[in-house]
Amino acid sequence: MPAFVKPIIKYEALDKLDVRVGTIEQVLEIESSDKLVKLVVNFGDHKRNILVGMKKERENPKEMMGEKSEGMLFDIGYADEVTPVVLAMPEKPVPDGTRAG
């Protein structure tokens, strides 16, 4: 069954988001967690640590297992319970830090 289509939002609400392309440089095990891994992501002018529940299903708090998560990873299929989910990727190479929108 198709997913419910969310209501249309105003452009100004979408413009508040800062969505950028980055390169995952490291995937680090968080041994005390059975769900989380830490990604070190290069955004060109800076790097961020992003915690993701790639081991199992996950929630999205800002601090998890005593680790700070500084961003969010876009994946495709999670909300629709498609397994395995896939990472959203640009169709051709773009510089790290390139903004989406």
Q: pLDDT 10s per residue in the chain (101 long)?
A: 778 898 999 989 988 989 899 999 999 999 888 888 899 999 999 999 999 887 765 455 578 778 888 887 777 877 788 877 788 888 999 999 999 87
Global pTM value: 0.72
Which pLDDT value is given to residue 95? 96
Q: Which residues face 24 on adjacent strands?
A: 41
Q: Selecting from 2.40.50.100, 2.40.50.140, 3.40.50.300, 2.60.120.310, what CATH number does the domain 11-87 have?
A: 2.40.50.140
- The structural domains of the chain, with segments of one domain joined by +, span 11-87
**Residue in the structure block whose two tokens are 């297992």:** 65
| All residues at 6 or more sequence positions from 4 whose CB lies less than 8 Å from its CB, including other chains | none
Which pLDDT value is given to residue 54? 74
* Mode of pairing for the β-strands spanning 37-42 and 63-64: unpaired
Three-class SS of 65-84: CCEECCCCCCEECCCCCCCC
